[in-house]
Structure 1
Amino acid sequence: MKVSYHGHSVVKIETSNHTILMDPFISGNEACDLDADTVKADVILLTHGHNDHVGDTVDIAKRNEALVVAPNELANYLESKGLNTHPMHIGGKHDFDFGRVKFTQAFHGSAYTEDDGTIIYTGMPAGILLTAEGNTIYHVGDTGLFSDLRLIGEMNEIDVAFVPIGDNFTMGPEDALVAADWIEAKIVVPVHFNTFPLIEQDAEDFAKKVQTGQGRVMQIGEEMKL
């Protein structure tokens, strides 16, 4: 399995038979190295409905005939756009041919803003536990610190956790360090930072301070093998 980071909260997972994109915010994201017109994906996993996470989902999914797995209301909205979706909700898990997906809680918002300014409610925000080929990846999603992260860490052997550190809209570095201790992942990767000035952070400093597991800053496009 190969896992790569592509700016903001964009994560790509390549298994033996599938390419999975998480929160593919590509167009309009200067921190992303992917091309929305050519990127391949068999599956798209979404944590919530904000535009900087849904991103290019509609175009990518249509071009690739990809399955979109998302919280129920967001999945229903995207189905109305002609996408093949699988709705889920917090606490639920499902076994797909590419692996097991379980949605966890996250404390944030979730709404999609149309081009004309119309705001569409897209249900509860979430984190995503993806287990495939013997590895578990936890995309924490956009969230503040909450104590059940400790329980999620105790219940799952997490190989890589993608944890937001940007502050203002999500956890900042101090709270994210507590979250990293509770999650107990083998590798902790900071995300959701430096996309724009309001969420600028020193990711290297955060990674050095991670006490439980290895803090690792992934450069844009960098890949790790699990």
Structure 2
Amino acid sequence: MKVTFFSHSTCMLEIHEKCLLIDPFFSENPIFKNTNFLKKFQKIDYILLTHAHYDHVCDVELFSHKFNNALVISNYEISIFFGKKGIKTYGINYGSFISFPFGKLKYVWATHSSVFNDGTYGGNPGGFLLHTDEGNLYISGDTSVMYEMNLIPHFGKLKLSILPIGGRYTMDIEEAILASDFLKCDKILGVHYNTFQDIQIDKKQAKKRFFEKGKELILLEKEKIIYV
């Protein structure tokens, strides 16, 4: 499984030649200002959305217009919102695993909020638990640490967890360490930090705190890749 980190919470997963774009945030992202980011992509098969905040959904329409066969997967309300715009969607909610060509996907809990910029209700915020024959991955979405994370490893051992670490709106470093304990996952890709002034972290200190707990915190530069 190939994971490309772009910035903020935007990642792309490549599994069995399927490309899954997570929470696309480019056009309003200060890190990608004045760049033709669409040229970076040759193929998108699925777009996964954790919740409706603009820094996770602002470029859904751009990507769906360029890759018109891409399927948006999100909660029921977000799927309805984009479906009304003529975008192909697949609405889900907290419930069972659902099979796709890339593996099994489950929409899971997050403690956050979810509303579009125009005030439209964005349904329950969530994350994704992805089970594949290349390994299992947890994408928490924007969330605080929560006791429900203890349930995630009961579904299967995780190879990697993608967790926010910037604080204020989500978990900070110490809470993400606690979350990794609940998840029984010692390999963490940190996201949702340093994009804006109010979610700045000390990257060196963050890695040190995880290392002291016997864990690995991966902090990637823009457009860098890891293999899971």
TM-based fold match above 0.5: yes
1:154–1:183: 8 Å Cα contact kept in structure 2?
A: no
2:16–2:102: 8 Å Cα contact kept in structure 1?
A: no
Does residue 1:42 correspond to 2:45, yes or no?
yes
**Judging changes above 3 Å, is the alpha-carbon distance between structure 1 residues 85 and 188 closer, same or farther for their aligned structure 2 residues?**
same
TM-score by length of 1: 0.92
Between 1:97-106 and 1:33-42, the stretch displaced more is 33-42
Does residue 1:76 correspond to 2:80, yes or no?
yes
User: What aligned pairs does 1:122-161 form with structure 2 within 5 A after superposition?
Assistant: 122-161=122-161
Q: Give the whole-Å Cα distance in 2 for the aligned partners of 1:179 and 1:157.
A: 15
Q: Give the whole-Å Cα distance in 2 for the aligned partners of 1:214 and 1:153.
A: 18
Deviation at 1:187, TM superposition (A): 1.6
Deviation at 1:61, TM superposition (A): 1.4
Which one-letter code corresponds to 1:37 in the other structure?
L
2:180–2:186: 8 Å Cα contact kept in structure 1?
A: no
Structure 2: which 5+ runs fail to align? Answer: none
Does residue 1:22 correspond to 2:22, yes or no?
yes
Aligned to 2:90: 86
Which one-letter code corresponds to 2:65 in the other structure?
K
2:165–2:190: 8 Å Cα contact kept in structure 1?
A: yes
Question: How many pairs align?
Answer: 222
Deviation at 1:212, TM superposition (A): 5.3
Structure 1 vs Structure 2 CA RMSD: 1.7
Does residue 1:193 correspond to 2:193, yes or no?
yes
SS in 2 for 1:4: strand
Q: Give the whole-Å Cα distance in 2 for the aligned partners of 1:155 and 1:59.
A: 35
Q: Give the whole-Å Cα distance in 2 for the aligned partners of 1:135 and 1:198.
A: 34
Q: Give the whole-Å Cα distance in 1 for the aligned partners of 2:26 and 2:198.
A: 19
Deviation at 1:32, TM superposition (A): 4.7
Deviation at 1:83, TM superposition (A): 0.6
Q: Give the whole-Å Cα distance in 2 for the aligned partners of 1:97 and 1:103.
A: 17
1:6–1:32: 8 Å Cα contact kept in structure 2?
A: no
Q: Give the whole-Å Cα distance in 1 for the aligned partners of 2:10 and 2:29.
A: 10
Q: Give the whole-Å Cα distance in 2 for the aligned partners of 1:105 and 1:50.
A: 16
Structure richer in helix, relative to its length: 2
TM-score by length of 2: 0.91
Aligned to 1:222: 224
**Judging changes above 3 Å, is the alpha-carbon distance between structure 1 residues 99 and 32 closer, same or farther for their aligned structure 2 residues?**
farther
Moved over 6 A (4+): none
Between 1:197-206 and 1:62-71, the stretch displaced more is 197-206
Q: Give the whole-Å Cα distance in 1 for the aligned partners of 2:122 and 2:26.
A: 20
Between 1:128-137 and 1:20-29, the stretch displaced more is 128-137
Q: Give the whole-Å Cα distance in 1 for the aligned partners of 2:218 and 2:38.
A: 29
